[in-house]
Structure 1
Amino acid sequence: MTGPELDPPTLSDRIDRLFQVVRRPSGEPYSHEEVARACREASGETFSATYLWQLRTGRRDNPTKRHLEALAQFFQVPPSYFFDDEQSDRITEELALLGAMRNAGVREVALRAVTLSPEGLGTISDMIEAIARREARSQRSW
């Protein structure tokens, strides 16, 4: 089976994911200008908001090593996030978890689950999986 869902993420996908998940403490996203400015300061190289937008949208896809290192530093991920599919997948999962934990309802469930036994956690996991399947089926029927 082939398809876009099986293709490894592109550089632009990885950069976009960082913008989607890594946020200011207030929950607001960082602007291209804000990130570009920090990257200019970190790398000492030219790094404009337009260039960053081009990288994020795939219109440019060949940044310098120093640019990627500056982006990694800003978003607090290892530079290998941009190159190593296995490490990128692991970090993307961690970023997704961080993003989910911003949701007060998810955070409340997670905090309550901390005290459960392994069996209780298994039951909760099974329930979440069943609800997710049901909701996916109902969305497909729309």
Structure 2
Amino acid sequence: MADREGLPALLTLQERLKFLFETVRPPGKARYSFRQVAEAIKTEHGVEISGQYIQQIESGERRNPGVVQVRALASFFGVPPEYLLGGGETDKVTGELNRLREAIEVRERLDEMMDDAMRDPDLQGIVLKARGVPPRYLQLVAGMLDEVRRIEGLDEVTDTDRGRPH
């Protein structure tokens, strides 16, 4: 179920916590484990909480967690405690988290593309030769490659495709 802006309608603590686990992730990983979150909360906030307790909240098995635990979870995920409790600007925070998730997905796709490209020995050689070359000459080489792509009938590569704004 989504609201009129296309954002998920997160009506319960369970849904909001599940959304945080799906959205706020460690770099290059699918999601935090319940144990990782529990250990970080204990280390950073001194709050005793187990991975199982967090899993019970996320699954809906535990519906009324303690205030201290809710505050610690909110702090870990970088949201106000009111977000988890459904008060305040829940829709605004959900929208910001969606934008964060979209940005992370774009970054991951770019990283994948770069990883794929760097497996090509010919490209590796070009990159190694380009190290230390002044920017004005790199721009000259980029222009030459653009011309080769045009001659060969390949798609144009824009600055956005290279991961830089225009």
TM-score between the two structures when normalised by the length of structure 2: 0.56
Q: Distance in 2 between matches of 1:65 and 1:34?
A: 20
Matched, 1:58 2:57: no
Number of equivalenced pairs: 110
Aligned to 2:26: 24
Q: Distance in 1 between matches of 2:10 and 2:38?
A: 26
Structure whose alpha-carbon radius of gyration is higher:
2
- Structure 1's unaligned 5+ residue stretches are 116-142
Question: 5 Å matches for 1:62-81?
Answer: 62-81=64-83
Question: 5 Å matches for 1:1-142?
Answer: 9-104=11-106
Aligned residues with identical type, % of pairs:
33
Q: Structure 1 residues 75, 8: CA separation in 2 closer, same or farther (over 3 Å shift)?
A: closer
Following superposition, the deviation at residue 85 of structure 1 comes to 4.1
Q: Structure 1 residues 28, 5: CA separation in 2 closer, same or farther (over 3 Å shift)?
A: closer
- Structure 2's unaligned 5+ residue stretches are 4-8, 111-159
Letter in 1 for 2:91: D
Q: Distance in 2 between matches of 1:23 and 1:74?
A: 11
Q: Distance in 2 between matches of 1:29 and 1:8?
A: 19
Structure with more relative contact order (C-alpha pairs < 8 Å, separation 6 or more): 1
Following superposition, the deviation at residue 42 of structure 1 comes to 4.2
Q: Distance in 1 between matches of 2:53 and 2:104?
A: 29
Alpha-carbon RMSD across the aligned residues, in angstroms, is 2.8
Once the two structures are superposed, what CA deviation does each residue of 1:13-58 show, in whole Å capped at 9, x if it has no partner?
0100100000112243111000011223345343111110000010
